[in-house]
Amino acid sequence: MDTFSETFSETSLAFAPQSEEGRLLQQINENQFAAVELQLYLDTHPEDLGAIAMYNQCHADLIRCLRDYESRCGPLLSYGLSASPCHGWGWLDGPWPWETNFS
Amino acid sequence: MWIYERKLEYPLRVSGPDPRMASCILTQYGGPQGELGAALRYLNMRYSMPTSRAKGILTDIGSEELGHMEMIATLVYKLTEGVSAQDMKAAGLDAMYADHRHALFWQNGDGVPWVAAYISATGDPVADLTENMAAEQKARAIYENLITLTDDPCVKDGLRWLREREVVHFQRFGEALMYVEDHLTQKQVYPVS
Ligand SMILES: [Fe+2]
């Protein structure tokens, strides 16, 4: 075991969100992080068809998770990429990213 | 988290190379009233705003300014694309060419590098939103100066569009300031000296 692993292996936090909103957001984060990783990999390995298939699967899952989240928790994206609830401008509802504790 | 869109907010063209004009426009990239400074100023200020409206407008205008930064970079790129070292020198840009060739650099038209001191944030929401209104007016004035300096109708078109955005941003910051002042009055919050 290297020094880094010895020092830090016990400190990793496994978030297990309790709220519905936290759970939906975690699904988005998981799919989007996988997509970010695959995108960076594909930028330097554009010929890897298997990775492209994985990327497309992430895309499909991410879009489904986004719509799930938004239908229950409100808009996540700006500039016309998310709809607002008709009864009020949903963009201003709830905590901002620096105000949440992912509970 | 930010997501990149592989397009400009508004399409840009130039009629032909104009390295001298590119160096003037560069002030809106890395000058004191430039788009980088604007984006960082607004995004940095969000954390000390008292209302969701103010946090929202700073998030959204700050993000839009990042798109404007890309538009300015695009104008500079197009105006210097394929320009030889000799033509850069003839336009008075030999010193810039020596340091950067055709790469962009965060500087104003005179070559003064961007500094963090351009970003003002006092933590007082009224002072900070007022600062933003002034920043938008200064950026508008600089776009008008730049429009005066070019004869290229395509460059004028892009600069006019960017100028219009400063007018809208000024208006929105004014409204945000009004709501923040109302909020502070209702809450009877006074700054601790
Ligand atoms: Fe602006």
What integer is the mean pLDDT of B71-89?
A: 96
In a domain, B131, yes or no: yes
In a domain, B47, yes or no: yes
A16 pLDDT band, cuts 50/70/90, is confident
Please tell me the total count of domains within chain B: 1
SS3 sequence of B105-148: CCECCCCCECCHHHCCCCCCHHHHHHHHHHHHHHHHHHHHHHHH
| pLDDT value, residue B171 | 97
> Under a CB-based contact definition with an 8 Å cutoff, are residues B140 and B167 in contact?
yes
Coil, strand or helix: which one is B179? Answer: helix
Domain that holds residue B119: 19-186
> Under a CB-based contact definition with an 8 Å cutoff, are residues B31 and B117 in contact?
no
Task: Return the C-alpha torsion angle B119, B122, B127, B128, nearest 10.
Answer: 40
What integer is the mean pLDDT of B9-32?
A: 96
Check if A63 contacts B (Cβ < 8 Å).
no
φ and ψ of A82, to 5 deg: -125, 145
pLDDT of residue A12 exceeding 90, the answer is: no
Structure tokens at B134: 């002034």
What integer is the mean pLDDT of B130-155?
A: 98
**A:19-38 residues touching chain B, CB 8 A cutoff:** 32
In a domain, B87, yes or no: yes
| CA-based R_g, chain B, Å | 18
In a domain, B160, yes or no: yes
In a domain, B193, yes or no: no
Q: For residue A97, list chain B residues with Cβ-Cβ distance below 8 A.
A: 1
Q: Chain B residue with minimal CA distance to A94? A: B52
Contact (CB<8Å) B46/A97: no
Check if A93 contacts B (Cβ < 8 Å).
yes
In a domain, B5, yes or no: no
Specify which of A69-78, B31-40, B90-99 reaches the highest per-range mean pLDDT.
Answer: B31-40
Distances in Å between the alpha carbon of B107 and those of B66, B76, B84, B104, B113?
16, 12, 21, 9, 4
Look up tokens 């297990």; give the residue: A16
Q: From the CA of A19, how far away is ligand 1's center (Å)?
A: 38
| pLDDT value, residue B44 | 97
pLDDT of residue B193 exceeding 90, the answer is: no
| pLDDT value, residue A85 | 92
What integer is the mean pLDDT of A84-98?
A: 93
Contact (CB<8Å) B52/A96: yes
By Cβ distance, the residue of B1, B46, B56 closest to A91 is: B56
What integer is the mean pLDDT of B88-99?
A: 91
In a domain, B91, yes or no: yes
Q: Chain B residue with minimal CA distance to A97? A: B1
Taking only the tens place, the pLDDT of each residue in A26-85 is: 999 999 999 999 999 999 999 999 999 999 999 999 999 999 999 999 999 999 999 999
Q: From the CA of B167, how far away is ligand 1's center (Å)?
A: 8
| pLDDT value, residue B72 | 98
CB pairs under 8 A between A and B: 20
Look up tokens 């500087």; give the residue: B107
* Helices of type H across B12-83: 19-25, 27-30, 35-45, 52-80
In a domain, B73, yes or no: yes
> Under a CB-based contact definition with an 8 Å cutoff, are residues B170 and B137 in contact?
yes
What integer is the mean pLDDT of B8-24?
A: 96
pLDDT of residue A90 exceeding 90, the answer is: yes
Contact (CB<8Å) B52/A78: no
By Cβ distance, the residue of B1, B3, B55 closest to A96 is: B55
- Write out the H or E segment, with its range, that includes residue B181: helix B153-187
| pLDDT value, residue A76 | 94
CATH code, domain with B66:
1.20.1260.10
